Amino acid sequence: MNISLRDILLFLINHNTFTSVKELAEIFSVSTRTIYSSLKSIDEFLVSQDMKPLERVKGKGLRCLCTNEEKREILRLLQQDQILYLSPEERRNRISIYVLTQNTYSTIDEISNILKVSRNTVITDIAYIKEWMKDFSLNLETYPYKGLCIVGKEINIRKALLKILLEEGNTLKSSVIVLGNLLSKDGIQSLEDFIDLLEVRLRTPISDISYYHIRLSFAIALSRMQKGCFIDEHWEQLIIEDSREYKALCSLKDRFDKQFNISIPKDELIYLSSQLISSSTQGAKDQDGIFHNWIYMQLNLRKFILAVEKDLQVELIEDNELFQGLLMHIRPAYYRILNGLSFENPILTQIKEQFSHIHKSVIKNLHLIESRLNISFTEEEASFLTMYFAAAVERKNRENKKIPTAAIVCTTGTSTSQILLSQLTNRFQINIVGAFSSRNIDKLVKREALDLIITTVDIEAEGVEIIKVNPILSQEDIANLSCVLNNISSKFNIKRIINIIKKYGNISDETGLAEELAKYLQPHYKNEKKHLERRKEPMLIEILNENLVEVNADVKTREEAIIKSGTLLYKNDLVEERYIQAMLDNLEEHGTYIVIAPGIAMPHARPENGVKDIGISIVTLKNPVVFGHKTNDPVRIVIGLCAIDHQTHLAALTELVNILKDESCIEGILNADSSEEIINIIKEVK
């Protein structure tokens, strides 16, 4: 209980008469709002001690109804400094943490003594906690003569613990206390050193909030393992074993075991890797290995972007920054959702207000991603995706705007004009040609292609907009300038452009030129439909021919199979020779995620590794080859892929994926004796 609450409580138990809220506010020199809040906390405390809340009588005020014995008990606790007041929510969290971290039965008397509250209060809280734990598929069972015990899977116990402890440790000070309840001081330091080493191995900086999540989830896991509580099952094991996080943890396992005097089993390494993935980011170079079904993920992401694009009527699919950003964010978000974690977006309300149309479109179309991943995004997670789209829309809008050109007119001297110049350039995106006197205004307008004159005095000039401001910009000046500049930057002055052209040549048809310029310089979003119609993404049959197909290739290893597919791309001048080695390096670094379906592998590398044009090659193998994939081996068909960007190849890839889903097509491709037969099979698919 803090000092102010203690003082108010002492005052009330020592005064038997009624006291008004206003009088209390004057006595303690605080606002009435603070008094109301304090009285609510005092009521909750009294009830937790099985005492009556404060009595309130309209027109009189309030007073304490405690008996003399109860008052003596409160005074005794205050004198011994034993009261730690907790709100009902805080108290329930403490009880939940206690029972979740125990490896034996817990009794109501134990909890009552620890929290200094009555048995009745604990019993009421237990009923609430039982309902809450059902959300984690956990049961808080009561056993006669033994006490309370958690029944449920270990992974769900950790999810519940992580949820509560994240709320408990939302400040630096409280996070230290939370960790101290799980590990010793030396253990916390060893854990932090280990995470720092992991960060170096992963070559990815970990943000502060991610660092806290990782540290806490690892501390929970270590604490549980030290008590003999291990995870014996996990989801998504296959892809986690292929992740760089899992490989980094495995490389440091011996050090981890030694530091914490424990032998960590494989299932626990997989669990820790999933926690690490939940809080980490993925570099653009690693984006293909995000999921074992990476092709479908990219195709569904393309559908998602196109759906939002259609709603907003802004061309977004060609924005590589958007595509990569979404892809890299979805990976940790996916594992956060599976782990029961949540990242709060501190500007969720502003996003919903400022970008409501974008956010609504994201929510509406998010099922295209959720269906592929078999998860449901929270609105918090969806709001992060909204931010990526909002940034992309802003980038697109900037493409369609010109930077306004302005001149300053000031009669009070160079120092004043420099102050104004500094304010303008710091606040606005604007090109200022200089500061001039008012007497030369006509010459200035003729000489410079100005959009605006910003002046501190009254002036007149034809053919250019004028706005008067104070030498030190007021809030009203800033608002007016923002409005004017936004209007100018969203349109082009055709007359100004024609005047510039006239300086360097004759114009035979000024009206016709003005019309052509007007059509060309229309803000891009107004002609969005035309741009969407003009977008060219080649179909499969446009990029695949007999020269890119080889049947019954006689290879012995996966490396030979990859080289075969890459060589076809190289011989058809679609890639440089170094691309073949990059395909092999990709397999070595990221594992067998390229084996996309039973019997089918799709080796590839990034565009910067020597891609000249979009291309696909198909190689059928005479004998199946083991690639090392746990479920999709052995491989019979190898499809080489090279792409120039993130999206141009996706239309062709969509067709190919649909073909690969058709068992009769796969059978036909495997039985084909010539490249022509395979091309004909592809042509016949509608």
Read off the tokens for 301: 């992401």
Number of other CB atoms surrounding residue 617 within 10 Å: 26
Report how many helices (DSSP H) and strands (DSSP E) the chain contains, helices first. 33, 13
The pLDDT, as a whole number, for residue 292 is 52
Read off the tokens for 584: 């092999």
If pLDDT is split at 50, 70 and 90, which confidence band does 344 have? low
Query: Tokens 């292929």 belong to which residue?
Result: 242
The pLDDT, as a whole number, for residue 447 is 79
**At 334, which helix (H) or strand (E)?**
helix 320-338
Cβ atoms of 565 and 617 within 8 Å: the answer is: yes
Q: Give 548-606 pLDDT, tens digit per residue.
A: 999 999 999 999 999 999 999 999 999 999 999 999 988 887 778 788 888 999 999 88
Q: Which of 445, 482, 447 is nearest to 467 (CA)?
A: 482
Read off the tokens for 271: 């669990």
Cβ atoms of 105 and 148 within 8 Å: the answer is: yes
Asked which of 290-299, 593-602, 673-682 is least confident by mean pLDDT, the reply is 290-299
Q: 3-state DSSP helix/strand/coil percent for the chain, to nearest 5? A: 60, 10, 30
If pLDDT is split at 50, 70 and 90, which confidence band does 290 have? very low
DSSP assignment of 521-543 equals: TS-GGGGHHHHHHH-----HHHH
How large is the average pLDDT for residues 3-9?
78
Q: Which of 517, 518, 507, 549 is nearest to 638 (CA)?
A: 549
How large is the average pLDDT for residues 636-648?
86
The pLDDT, as a whole number, for residue 84 is 56
The pLDDT, as a whole number, for residue 496 is 66
Q: Which residue has the higher pLDDT, 489 or 41?
A: 41
Q: Which of 533, 507, 530 is nearest to 520 (CA)?
A: 530
Residue 160 has pLDDT above 80, yes or no: yes
If pLDDT is split at 50, 70 and 90, which confidence band does 28 have? confident
Query: Is residue 405 classed as helix, strand or coil in its secondary structure?
Result: strand
Sign of the dihedral through C-alpha 379, 380, 385, 390: positive
Q: Report the percent of the chain where pLDDT is more than 70.
A: 86
Report d(CA 79, CA 63) in Å as an integer.
22
Q: Give 403-412 pLDDT, tens digit per residue.
A: 788 888 876 6
Active-site residues: which are they?
604
> What length is written for the chain?
686
Asked which of 241-245, 550-554, 566-570, 609-613 is least confident by mean pLDDT, the reply is 241-245
Q: Which of 405, 428, 401 is nearest to 492 (CA)?
A: 401
Query: Is residue 544 classed as helix, strand or coil in its secondary structure?
Result: coil
Query: Tokens 């809340």 belong to which residue?
Result: 53
Cβ atoms of 385 and 362 within 8 Å: the answer is: yes
Strand order in 615-625's β-sheet? 549-553, 615-625, 635-642, 600-601, 595-597
pTM metric for this prediction: 0.57
SS (H, E, C) 17-69: CCECHHHHHHHHCCCHHHHHHHHHHHHHHHHHCCCCCCEEECCCEEECCCCHH
Q: Which of 650, 635, 668 is nearest to 565 (CA)?
A: 635
Q: Give 71-106 pLDDT, tens digit per residue.
A: 888 887 776 655 556 678 878 888 998 899 888 889
Number of other CB atoms surrounding residue 95 within 10 Å: 26
Cβ atoms of 55 and 15 within 8 Å: the answer is: no
Query: Is residue 385 classed as helix, strand or coil in its secondary structure?
Result: helix
Which amino acid would we find at residue 312? L
